[in-house]
Amino acid sequence: MGPDRFKQAFYLNYFRTYFKNQQQTPSGHVIERFDASETAVKDVVACCASFSLFSSLRLIECHNVDAYKKSDIDTLLDYCKQASPSSVLLLVSSSMMSASRLCKTLLALDKKRVMPCPALSKKELVSWIATRTRAHGLDCSASVCNAIMDACGSDTAHIDSEISRIALSTSTKQFRDVADMAPFLPQIDDSGWWICTDALMQRNTARALAYVRAHPESVFNVLQRIQEHLEKLLYIHHCTNTHTTPKLTEQFGGSSWQYRSYPRFAQNFTTGELAHLYVRSCELDEVMKSGKNPVYSFMLFVLLFKVG
C-alpha cells in the first residue's frame, strides 16, 4: 500500500508470476482482478470463497481499495480473519496509509500481510533515479538525475518508463551535462532552470543566455537556484582553504548523488569570483523584485560568469 507505483508493480509481478507457475492447466484462470470502484465488496469476497477447478491456490487482486466505504472495509476485514485457504486476496491501494484501520488490522494478524510502498522523499527519489538509469544502461551525473526528476515528477512508474524510453531512443549512454539530456526529456513549463544553472556553473554564458531568451518568465526561479549553487560552491572553497573535508549532505541536506558535480564546478571559480557573484545575485534579487526590466537585468548578471 502506498503511492510508489513502481514498487507496487514489482510486488504485483512477483505474485502473478508465482501463481501462474502454480497453474495446473493451460486454460485455467488462477488470477482474478477486480476494481473496488466497479465491483461490490460482496462479489470480491464471494470470489475468494469459491472453489477453483484449475488450481489449488488462486490470486484475487482488488485494486483501488480506498474507494470502499467503512462498512465495505469491515466486510473485507471479517473475511481476512477467516480467509479461504485456496485463495490469496491481494488488496492494492495508492492512497491508503499504514495508519489506516485496514493496515493496522492486517498488521495485527500478520506483519507480513502488508507490503508498504511509501512515497519517496526528494533525496530518496534522486538516488532511486540514479539506480534506475544504471539499470537501463545509462551513466548520468547527479545534475542530470535531478533534471529527470524535475521533468518527470514523482511518479516512479512514469519516471522508469521515461528512462527506458530515453535508453532505447539514443546510442548515447553517458550524460554528464543537463543540456545533453534536455532534448530527451518531457517538455513541461518552468522546469528547465537546471539547463541555465548547469551552464553557468560551467561558465557557458552563451547556453545560459539562449535559455533565458527562450524562457524569460523563468528568470526569478533561475536566480534562486543560482544563489543556492553559489552558496554550496563557497562552502567547498571554504573547506579547501581551511583544509577540511566538505560535508555537503550534512550542511545542506539531500543525497550525496546530487552533489557529485559540485567539486568540479567549484574548480571553475576562484573564491573571490564566487563571493562577488553571490553579492551581485542578492543585489539583482532586489532590482528584479522592483520590476525594473528583470529579464534584461538578469542577462547582464549572466555575463558576469563569462571567463576573461
Q: Are residues 293 and 169 in the same domain?
A: yes
Look at residues 46, 301, 93 and name the one whose alpha carbon lies nearest to residue 196.
301
Q: Are residues 251 and 275 in the same domain?
A: yes
User: Does any domain span residue 100?
Assistant: yes
Q: Are residues 129 and 105 in the same domain?
A: no
Q: How many domains does the chain have?
A: 2
User: Does any domain span residue 143?
Assistant: yes
User: Does any domain span residue 262?
Assistant: yes
User: Does any domain span residue 159?
Assistant: yes
Q: Are residues 58 and 183 in the same domain?
A: no
Q: For the range 31-36, what are the long-range contacts, defined as Cβ-Cβ under 8 Å and sequence gap of 24 or more?
A: 31/58, 31/59, 31/61, 32/58, 32/59, 32/60, 32/61, 33/61, 33/63, 34/60, 34/61, 34/62, 34/63, 35/62, 35/63, 35/64, 36/62, 36/63, 36/64, 36/65, 36/66, 36/67, 36/68, 36/72
User: Does any domain span residue 308?
Assistant: no
Amino acid 103: pLDDT: 81
Q: Are residues 90 and 183 in the same domain?
A: no
pLDDT tens digits for range 233-264: 999 999 999 999 988 888 887 667 678 788 98
Q: Please provide the DSSP assignment of the chain as one string.
A: --S-HHHHHHHHHHHHHHHHHT-SSTT---EEEEETTTS-HHHHHHHHHSPPSS-S-EEEEEE-GGGS-HHHHHHHHHHHHT--TTEEEEE--SS--TTSHHHHHHHHH-GGG----PPPPHHHHHHHHHHHHHHTT-EE-HHHHHHHHHHH-S-HHHHHHHHHHHHHH-S--EE-SHHHHGGGSPP-TT-THHHHHHHHHTT-HHHHHHHHHH-GGGHHHHHHHHHHHHHHHHHHHHHHHTT----HHHHH-S-GGGGTTHHHHHTTS-HHHHHHHHHHHHHHHHHHHTTS-HHHHHHHHHHTTS--
Domain end (from 63, 94, 113): 113
User: Does any domain span residue 118?
Assistant: no
Domain end (from 49, 84, 113): 113
pTM score of the predicted model: 0.59
CATH of the domain at 75: 3.40.50.300
Q: Are residues 222 and 187 in the same domain?
A: yes
Q: Are residues 137 and 241 in the same domain?
A: yes
User: Does any domain span residue 269?
Assistant: yes
Q: Are residues 173 and 217 in the same domain?
A: yes
Domain end (from 82, 113, 144): 113
pLDDT tens digits for range 89-137: 999 887 766 667 778 877 787 777 788 888 888 889 999 999 999 999 9
pLDDT tens digits for range 154-173: 889 889 988 998 998 888 88
Q: Are residues 73 and 206 in the same domain?
A: no
Q: Are residues 39 and 135 in the same domain?
A: no
Model confidence at 23, in pLDDT bands (50, 70, 90)? low
Structural domain boundaries, residue 290: 123-303
Q: Are residues 175 and 224 in the same domain?
A: yes
pLDDT tens digits for range 268-290: 999 999 999 999 998 888 888 77
User: Does any domain span residue 29?
Assistant: yes
Q: Are residues 294 and 171 in the same domain?
A: yes
